[in-house]
Amino acid sequence: MGYSRREFLRKTAEGIGASLFTLGALQGNQSSKQNQPNILWITSEDNTASYLGCYGNEIANTPNLDQFAEESIVYENAHANAPVCAPARFTIITGMYPTKFGTHNMRSNNKIPEKFKFFPEYLREQGYYCTNNYKEDYNTPKPRKIWHESSHSAHYKNRDKDQPFFAIFSTSLSHEHKIHFHELMEENDHDPGDLELAPYHPDLPEMRKCKANYYDYISKMDKKVGEILDELEARGLAEDTIVFYYSDHGGVMPRSKRFLYDNGTHVPMMVRFPDKYQHLAPKSMGTREKRLVSFVDLAPTVLSLTGVDIPDNMQGTAFLGKQKNEEPEYIHFMRDRMDERYDMMRAVCNKRYRYIRNYMPHRKYGQHLWYLWRSPSTRAWEEAYKNGQCNDIQSRFWGLKVEEELYDVQKDPHNIHNLADKDDYKNILQKMRAELKNWIRQNNDAGFLPEGMMVERAGDSTIYKMTHSRNISINKIIETSEMATRRDSKYLTKLKNRLTAEEPGVRYWAATGCAILEKEAVQAVSKLKLLLEDSSPDVRIAAAEALVRIGKYKQAALKILVSEMENEEKKWTQLHAVNILESLEEEAKPVLKQIMSWVKWEHGDVSDYFGRAHTNLVKELKPGWSDYVVY
């Protein structure tokens, strides 16, 4: 006769008397006298929902999570609002969107106003013992001490007797680095030949090896989750604790993590309620829930479960507890700078469709990113593309973006059939486009300022205060960006006029629009040349790129780009400049000598974002410069 995990552990404890299981209770770990529920979060890293057996994967070996799913509510439409850890974790800890605060770029660490609290602060005020084991990575400095403990040894066992707890345990066993060169195992439990590859991945040995390796680590992650659940039961706390399991975003094979496709944002999420707190659950355990849920909803949901009033500033919607609200119609997403690579996408989805707006259509999807290229799968895919071994779907990743993407996620879970230009989907496209525009403006989206300009204009204050003041024309900036990134010459006259706007953010996007149009923007050359002396370095960089792409005043433009690349006092505009130089490819070769003068050692410097981007720039412009791969 089969038992659930909880039944098995209970019977084991009864059978062996004063064992580890009973000792936990004897040592005062039970909290049956408390009225408030304990909340336990178990978080894995970088795994899309489709890697688990309980989400329909027949190859996955995830018995602990599959059993946990039978004891929980399984959310089928749960998503990270950003497809990478730090911005996603900001959303989780605040219940607000990073784009509203300037915390949207990866590892930006920009501060937010002190009036905005991290949600564990509210729990502490209610008497909760709050622990985090161990990853934070909130993309912003902690405003105050928010955890009783936050370390590798943080644990709810250290609380006072009968004190309710909120505890997070994170595991990195499924993190992206498990498909890097140094983590690949000689033999895998999962046979690489048995795996199904995504249609956008070419069938390569390296692709299969990395995916098999990742499946093996998913199994190790599953075992770790089981150990955390076992300990909770052993300490006699399962009947007093609501348990969440989720992944911090999707991943991890190339074109998932960091990208706004379903594989980058769709996460597993399950919530188990003990009998004591079933009245807070919307359904019975062992059922599936199709409600749209995203990370911005987690903070208000925990407050709702613990009886704390949800503050008005939280942008998410509670999906559990007494303050549960109506299901949202849409989920919103953002992608910006990923480590050393500048990019910008915004997206929205409902249960059927996903709409993506690309604000840098003149950049490739697959921009070289040092960390992503540590996987043999990414390198092999790139090599196969260069050798002409990829079909149209597989080649798309290495080409320039389109301005808009629309996918039917039910019929097309891999998001490979773009419907944005199909007449039958025109109404859906317009509706989702309008929804995204409205959301962007509601947030005064700070991502519409280049990072260097954004940080410099905020000064000693916060980006939030700067973008919500009367001193910035944020709506005009957003409007200009929408014209600039359409790749349509009908907007050229307006863009040309805005090259002399008082607002530097408008000038930046007007110049960027000319860069996107390339030679079609030739009538704007005289104004672009004047912008090489603009007061804003980001405007100077955008104007320089435009002039090189148009083919006018190239020497002066390249000189500006090198000058900004050398300006170490402005690290984000320095990074911006080196990104532009690499995007120009052969056009940047006339300044190779100046670029090479910044090489810090024979094969480059990958110790920081600028060093990584600069090293790859030199590799691209000087083939054979590095005879081995820098790990």
Burial class (CB in 10 A: 0-12, 13-18, 19+), 79: buried
CA distance 482 to 306: 42
Strand order across the beta sheet in which 269-272 lies: 149-150, 129-133, 165-171, 38-44, 241-247, 269-272, 73-79, 287-294
CA distance 376 to 382: 10
Q: Where are the beta strands (DSSP E) in 224-299?
A: 241-247, 269-272, 287-294
Contact at 8 Å (CB) between 417 and 407? yes
CA distance 181 to 378: 11
Give the closest residue to 440 by CA, choosing from 281, 545, 563, 332: 332
CA distance 489 to 319: 45
3-state SS assignment for residue 279 = helix
- Any idea of the CA torsion for 588, 589, 595, 600, to the nearest 10 degrees? 120
Contact at 8 Å (CB) between 337 and 613? no
Contact at 8 Å (CB) between 267 and 78? yes
CA distance 88 to 98: 8
Q: In the chain, how long is the greatest CA-to-CA distance?
A: 86
Burial class (CB in 10 A: 0-12, 13-18, 19+), 327: middle
CA distance 266 to 295: 11
Distance of CA 210 to the CA centre of its chain: 21
Name the token pair of 566.
């050398």
Contact at 8 Å (CB) between 210 and 47? no
Angle at alpha carbon of residue 465, lines to 462 and 468, rounded to 5°: 145
Q: Where are the beta strands (DSSP E) in 409-448?
A: none
Rg, the chain, Cα only:
26
CA distance 243 to 261: 28
CA distance 175 to 511: 39
CA distance 123 to 116: 14
CA distance 136 to 400: 34
Q: Which residues are catalytic?
A: 85
Q: How many residues does the chain have?
A: 631
CA distance 610 to 613: 5
Angle at alpha carbon of residue 184, lines to 210 and 416, rounded to 5°: 15
Angle at alpha carbon of residue 309, lines to 303 and 314, rounded to 5°: 70
